[in-house]
Amino acid sequence: MNEKKEKEIIEEKEISLERKNAIGFSGGTGFGIDYARMLKSDKFYVTAGFNALMFSIDAIEQEISGENLLVDTALDFKNLDIKLSYHPFANAFKLVGGIGIFSSSNINVKTTFKENITVGDIEFTSEDSGSLNVDVNWSKVAPYLGLGFGRAVPNKRWGFAADFGTYFSSSPEITLDATGIIERSKDQEALLNESFKSFKFIPYASLRVSYSF
C-alpha cells in the first residue's frame, strides 16, 4: 500500500470517529425512524427507534366448500426498539440484539358470505348469515436477535444498511367471534389457540439509509 493511500485511509477513519451520531430511516417490514450512537469504539452501536406496519385489504374473494366468501384483512404493528449492534470483524457485518416494546401487534381477519346461502329449505341473505371475526395479538414486549450489514453510524456522511432478524414473542392470543348461522364456530377458539401456539416469532427485515453527524 502506497503512502498516499495509507494516509487517505487514516484520515477517513479519523473523520469517521468524529461522527458518533446518526439519524436513520428504514423501510421493509414497516417504516421506521431511529437515532443511533457510537459507543466506546466503532465496533459497538446503540439504536433507539420507532417502527410501524399498518395496512388492510378488503373484500378478498375466496371459495370454501362451494360458498363464496369475502375476507377483510388488517395488520397493525407499532413498536419502540432499543438495539445494540456489534461488528466482530473490521467490516460492515454485524450482530444485533435488543428488545421491542409493542403498542400494537395485531392481525385481524373478518369473513362474510358474498351471496345468499340456503340451509335446508331456508335461504339466508348475506347479512343474516353472519360473519366470522378472528383477532390475533402477540405480547407487548419481545426480545430481538438478528444480523445485518452496514453501520448504525456510517463512516461517511450517508450510509446504507440491511437488517434481518426476528422478535421472540409469546404464543399469540386468538379471539374468535361469530354471528348468525355460524355462531357455533366460537366453540373452536380454544382449538385455534392450540394450533397456533408455536407462532412465537415476529420476523423483521429492513433497508436503512442514515445520516451521520
150 pLDDT above the threshold of 90: yes
CA separation for the pair 161, 22 (Å, rounded): 13
What number is the average pLDDT over the span 152-157?
A: 94
Which helix (H) or strand (E) element contains residue 7? helix 3-18
Spacing of C-alpha 8 from chain mean position? 40
Per-residue pLDDT tens over the stretch 155-207: 999 999 999 999 999 999 999 998 887 887 778 899 999 999 999 999 999 99
Q: What are the two backbone dihedrals, phi and then psi, of residue 182, each rounded to the nearest 5 degrees?
A: -105, 20
The residue type at 99:
I
Torsion sign across C-alpha atoms 112, 113, 117, 123:
positive
70 pLDDT above the threshold of 60: yes
Torsion sign across C-alpha atoms 146, 149, 151, 157:
negative
Q: How far is CA 101 from CA 37, 179, 195, 200, 208, in A?
A: 20, 34, 25, 15, 20
CA separation for the pair 180, 197 (Å, rounded): 28
CA separation for the pair 213, 158 (Å, rounded): 10
End-to-end CA distance of the chain: 30
CA separation for the pair 36, 21 (Å, rounded): 6
Per-residue pLDDT tens over the stretch 94-111: 999 999 999 999 999 999
pTM of the model: 0.83
- Angle formed at CA 149 by CA 144 and CA 151, multiple of 5 degrees: 90
CA separation for the pair 58, 166 (Å, rounded): 28
Q: Which residue has the cell 407499532?
A: 78
